[in-house]
Each structure stands twice: as structure tokens, then as C-alpha cells.
Structure 1
Amino acid sequence: MASVDTGGGEEKKGKPKKQTLRVDFTPMVDMNMLLITFFMFCTTLSKPQIMDIAMPTDEKLNKEDEVKVKESKAITLILGADDKIYYYTGMPDYTDYTTLKETTFASEGGIRDVLLERNQKIVDQMRELRHEKFVTNKKMSDEEFKNRARDIKSDKDGQVVVIKPTSEATYRNLVDALDEMQICSIDKYAIVDMSEGDQFLVENLKTKGAYGAEAAAPK
């Protein structure tokens, strides 16, 4: 039993006798344990944030099974060294080194602004859906929110992003690129290997066209 005893020492003549005061802390300990138990059962633990990634299959697809993407809706991201990102839209023009653009993961003026601008329609619809769930219609279930969000992101006007990490890119660069897919409401994206044409574009941009003048452009 936890307690505190406060008592006087030796009594002196002419002074009133001190009373012994005893404080029992057992009820306080019990109350603290009850509070801890209450908060453990009532507090919602943070849920881990996970991202579903569809891994490629070894099965060969028929032409009927292949998904065709409009050139105007496709953008390719090449993850380079020093957190740099090179990107081009549609099919690249190997004769023009300015086809490839350079940017970074900066919150302003980076790849996010590029993706948000290209996917503006889907982004606006997702913003309205979040406002409806968390402001105007808080009774909307999580299942309904996920279903409506999936329908919005699967719209044919949505962007398709191809992510190509180079050997100089870090694992963090790839994770940051995948995070941008969620932030920019992009549902269709894929991670593929670099091609000779992509390497040609990067080297040609770094040399401002000098590399393309000496090396043959890929077909």
C-alpha cells in the first residue's frame, strides 16, 4: 500500500503536539490504471499507409488484351541522379533534345505541378468528393467513398504515367514518385526499365544536342 507519513520529531515543552498525517495513494494508482486502460481501448490507433502495386506478369498478352493509351494522355518520368526527373509527353522526338524536360520533386515548380495540370479534371472531381465526405455529407461510408473515387480515377480522361528509374536513382526517388501518383489522383501508372531511346534522350539533353549530333538516333 502506497502512503506518505508526515510526523514530527521530538516534542518540546510549551509547543502544541503535532498530529501525524497519513496520505494513502492506493486509490490514485487504481484510478491511473483505469484511465490507462480506458484510453487503450477507446483510442483509435493510426493505420499504416500502404499502396497497392500491381506487379508485371510473365504471360504474353494478345493484341485484344493490350491496353491502348492515347498519346496525349501519356507521360513518361525518368528518375535520374541528384533527385532530378526527366519527362516527356506522348512519343518523344529524338531529333529535338528539348523534347525531354527536366524538373525535381520540389513542392512548387516540380513534377507535382506538371501532373496536377495534366490531370486537372480528375483532381477537381476528387477534391469535390473529399469535400462532400468530410464537410457536407459526413455520413458517407468509407466503402462508398472508395468506390466513387475508383470510378473517378478510372475515367478515360485520366493520365497514364510510365515511371523509369535509372541506375543513378535512389529507392527514395521511386517512393516519392509513387507518392506523387496518389497526391495527383493518378490511377494508371507503371514502373518499367529504361530503354536505349530513353538513355539517348537524357544524354542528348545534358549535352544540349551535341550527343545526338554524334550518335545515331534510335529508331
Structure 2
Amino acid sequence: MAEMILPQKSGKRKLHSLKVDLTPMVDLGFLLITFFMLTTTLARPNAMELNMPYDGPVDNPPIFVDEATITLIPSKDHSLHYYNGLLKSPADMHVATMKNARAIILRKKSEVAALPSSFSADAHKLHVLIKPDKTCKYEDVVSLLDEMNINDVRYYAIVDITAEDVSAMAQ
């Protein structure tokens, strides 16, 4: 409670001290703080949508199009191993850095778009297989997923790395 003390003047009239009760103002302040805390929108978590391959029985098995597929294998030290289509020999495996991932994807996307019109409609869509190595960083996998969104690659999947891929990377 606030209180003001005023000097009394000499005269017939006597002045009293003025008292201001601040309790209602404090109550109003807490009510406003509570109102704004309850009505404000907190930062919504940003989550990336990740579609994993279907694991159940398949009625129509997918047709693998060798010319429209690229496999990206992020590995240790931000390196990126990749090959086109199926891995026929270890010489087909190429090595680059994660900084070159966008150029690799764009180059393969333009190669797929340049396929002859005699190929099926699925052959004109880029399919990317991401096979993270055990030694890769989580950051590299997220970077590849970001590249899929940036480059508008609609058909991609994260799959387990195979023994053939590991042996080709070692050579």
C-alpha cells in the first residue's frame, strides 16, 4: 500500500495524508501476464516429413529402372560414395564430398530427363536410394534429405547398406 505524506499548512484546515491502494493494479498486472502467456503461440517444432519404404506385402512389386536410379552413401569425414543404377563392379563407385551432393543430384536429374521417350513414365522420374554408412554423421543424412526437398526429388528412400556396397567402398 502506498502512502503520501504532505506537509500541513498552517491554517484552519487540516490536511490528511493521501493513501493509494495499489493492490488492484498488481492484480490487473498478473491477470494480463496470465492472459498473454496462455493466449500466445509458442514456437511450433519444425519436423521434416520422412517417408520410409513400405515394409509389408506388396501386391505389385516395383519395377527397378536402372537408368533412373542413383544410390548415395554418406560416409565418414563428410564423404559421399555414389553410383548409378545397379552396382555391377567396384569401379562403378564414385567418391565426392557432401558439398558436391547437389551437383551430383542435378546432373543425374538432367540425365534422367534426357532419356528417350521410348522409356516408361517411371524411367523419367529420378529415384534416389540413400544408404547411410555406419561411420557417417547424422548431419550428412539430414543434408541429403534437405537436398531431396531443394531439388524436388519426389522418389527417394533411406535403406540399409548392403555388403556389396561396403566391399566396393573399401576398394
CA deviation profile, 1:149-185 (whole Å, cap 9, x unmatched): xxxxxx8433111111222123443333333323332
Kindly indicate whether the alpha-carbon contact (under 8 Å) linking 2:3 and 2:17 is maintained by their aligned counterparts in 1: no
Give distance in 1, aligned partners of 2:25 and 2:45: 35
1:100 pairs with one of 94, 97, 104:
94
Shift, 1:44, TM fit: 7.1
Indicate how the Cα distance of structure 1 residues 18 and 201 shifts in structure 2: closer, same or farther if over 3 A, else same: farther
2:61 corresponds to which residue? 66
Query: Alignment RMSD, CA only?
Result: 3.7
Q: What's the TM-score once normalised by structure 1's chain length?
A: 0.53
User: 2:77 is paired with a residue of what secondary structure?
Assistant: coil
1:127 corresponds to which residue? none
1:82 corresponds to which residue? 77
Shift, 1:30, TM fit: 1.6
Kindly indicate whether the alpha-carbon contact (under 8 Å) linking 2:52 and 2:158 is maintained by their aligned counterparts in 1: no
1:7 corresponds to which residue? 5
User: Within the alignment, does 1:201 sit opposite 2:161 as a pair?
Assistant: no
Shift, 1:37, TM fit: 2.0
Q: Count how many residue pairs are aligned between Structure 1 and Structure 2.
A: 156
Q: Percent identity?
A: 21
2:144 partner amino acid: A
User: 1:82 is paired with a residue of what secondary structure?
Assistant: helix
Give distance in 2, aligned partners of 1:78 and 1:115: 13
Shift, 1:29, TM fit: 4.2
Alignment of 1:1-219 (within 5 A): 3-7=1-5, 20=18, 22=20, 24=22, 26-27=24-25, 29-30=27-28, 33-34=31-32, 36-37=34-35, 40-41=38-39, 43=41, 46-57=44-55, 59=57, 61=58, 65-92=60-87, 94=89, 96=91, 99-104=93-98, 106=99, 110-119=100-109, 156=122, 157-204=124-171
User: 2:3 is paired with a residue of what secondary structure?
Assistant: strand
Q: What's the TM-score once normalised by structure 2's chain length?
A: 0.65
Give distance in 2, aligned partners of 1:112 and 1:36: 48
Stretches of structure 1 that go unaligned for 5 or more consecutive residues are 121-154, 205-219
Give distance in 2, aligned partners of 1:165 and 1:100: 15
Larger Rg: 2
Give distance in 1, aligned partners of 2:21 and 2:109: 68
Shift, 1:119, TM fit: 4.1
Give distance in 1, aligned partners of 2:50 and 2:167: 32
